[in-house]
Structure 1
Amino acid sequence: MVNPVLRKPSSRLSRSVAAIGALTVGLLATGFVLWPKSPTNLAQESAQARARLLQHWSAGEIAVLVRHTERCDRSSNPCLGPADGITRVGSEAAAVVGQGLAHLGLSQTDILTSPVTRTVQTAHYMFSSDPRTQEWLATCGTTLRNDVVAHKVAHRNLVLVTHSGCIADFEKQTGLKHSAKDAEYGSALFVHIDGNGQLQVLGIVNAEDWNTLLQK
């Protein structure tokens, strides 16, 4: 007959393992909730979220960071010209993004672009013009958040054509430290900036989602 006393250490060990397992699961779940995720897709948000976006846009309180469209040097699609530019497919996508922004209204909007060929070409096909180039939209880095705020004029929206690495820098500096992946070609990150320079990331619109957003 087995002495019951000998069973106690095994029981205690089992309970300890179970407790540690439960604690680990709890911590992982808490971390998943507390860690900021990637920006929400505004095309999939509620009508109320869209109404807030339109309200902020009408008030000139929005900054939009747009990634250039498809790179020529990373695609087999026909190029527009230089290898550091965009493809013909990219030019068509850029036009769609530009039409979406035009639908929101560009009468009180400032437009700036990185001086790199692919961003200049993207901006050209978005707006049928060549906006002013800004070196800080290519270098980005640790001051990007402050640079965006500094170039945002009160009661005027700001569209910035830039790069995926720069958008990633901006997201980290605004609290989205765990974004899942790089921004897609032609994606637009919408940010609300109030009169005190306080930022709130509203969400992202991918190039193929503009029709869905505008039809809601």
Structure 2
Amino acid sequence: MQRSPANLRYVSASATREWVSAWQAGEVVALVRHTERCDRSTNTCLGPADGITQVGSVAAASVGRGFELLGLEKTELFSSPLTRTMQTAHYMLGHDAVAQEWLETCGPTIRDEMVAHKTPGQNMILVTHSGCIADFERQTGYPRAVAAEYGSAVLTRIDAQGQLKVIGIMNPEGWQHMNK
């Protein structure tokens, strides 16, 4: 059993084409961890202590550019209601996300919640927390996954029949190496 989903920066060109094609079809859900927290950093904060740092805003914008390269025409943006996730979403895509309580609490239902909230033909970007990503990974067969780093994304595919498959992880620096 794999410890963590595949790092998408290092997968084959054909594997990349496959998941990019799933994105273009509106079948992808990306669970994105918020960027650097103020209360765990000495970097300059962008407001309240429960928000993100200036460094975090730059990282979020970089992750957002990766999603923009894929195309955002068929994409819904949701976030945990906490300040750090809402700020991350805003700096990623330049607008506010729709707050969803289930992206804060997560637990044993996160996988089912993702499937239930997925609109056919629409990608979803879900800005959430490392604990929620860990909950999701445990529920999908990665019981000892490496902790999600700030700004990393776990990409999954949910097909028209509601079947979920983990595609892999894209860490923040991986987006810079993406070729469409």
TM-score (norm 2): 0.97
- Aligned-partner residue type, residue 74 of structure 1: R
Cα deviation digits, residues 115-134 of structure 1 (max 9, x gap)? 00000000010011111100
1:196 aligns with 2:161: yes
Cα distance in 1 for partners of 2:61, 2:159 equals 29
Q: Is the 8 A contact 1:42 1:213 kept in 2?
A: no
Cα distance in 2 for partners of 1:36, 1:43 equals 17
Which residue is equivalent to 2:16?
50
Return the index of the structure with the highest Cα Rg.
Answer: 1
Which residue is equivalent to 2:68?
102
Cα distance in 1 for partners of 2:84, 2:179 equals 27
Which residue is equivalent to 1:116?
82
Cα distance in 1 for partners of 2:43, 2:104 equals 24
- Aligned-partner residue type, residue 42 of structure 2: S
Question: Which of these residues, 125, 147, 153, is aligned with residue 182 of structure 1?
Answer: 147
| Percent of aligned pairs with the same amino acid | 57
Which residue is equivalent to 1:151?
117
**Which one has the bigger helix percentage?**
1
Which residue is equivalent to 2:58?
92
Cα distance in 2 for partners of 1:142, 1:154 equals 23
Cα distance in 1 for partners of 2:134, 2:151 equals 14
Cα deviation digits, residues 80-120 of structure 1 (max 9, x gap)? 11111000000000000111101100101111000000000
How big is the shift at 1:212? 1.0
Q: What are the ranges of 5 or more consecutive residues in structure 2 without an aligned counterpart? A: none
Q: How does 1:1-20 map to 2 (within 5 A)?
A: none
- Aligned-partner residue type, residue 68 of structure 2: A
Structure with bigger RCO (C-alpha 8 Å, 6+ apart): 2
Cα deviation digits, residues 7-34 of structure 1 (max 9, x gap)? xxxxxxxxxxxxxxxxxxxxxxxxxxxx
Q: Is the 8 A contact 1:167 1:183 kept in 2?
A: yes
Question: Which of these residues, 93, 117, 121, is aligned with residue 127 of structure 1?
Answer: 93
- Aligned-partner residue type, residue 26 of structure 2: G
How big is the shift at 1:37? 1.7
Which residue is equivalent to 1:79?
45
Which residue is equivalent to 1:214?
179
Q: Is the 8 A contact 1:68 1:186 kept in 2?
A: yes
1:139 aligns with 2:109: no
How big is the shift at 1:151? 0.7
How much is the aligned-residue C-alpha RMSD, in angstroms?
Answer: 0.9
Equivalent position SS for 1:214: coil
How big is the shift at 1:213? 2.1
How big is the shift at 1:59? 0.8
- Aligned-partner residue type, residue 87 of structure 1: T
How big is the shift at 1:175? 1.1
The alignment covers a number of residue pairs equal to 180
TM-score (norm 1): 0.81
How big is the shift at 1:78? 0.8
Equivalent position SS for 1:53: helix
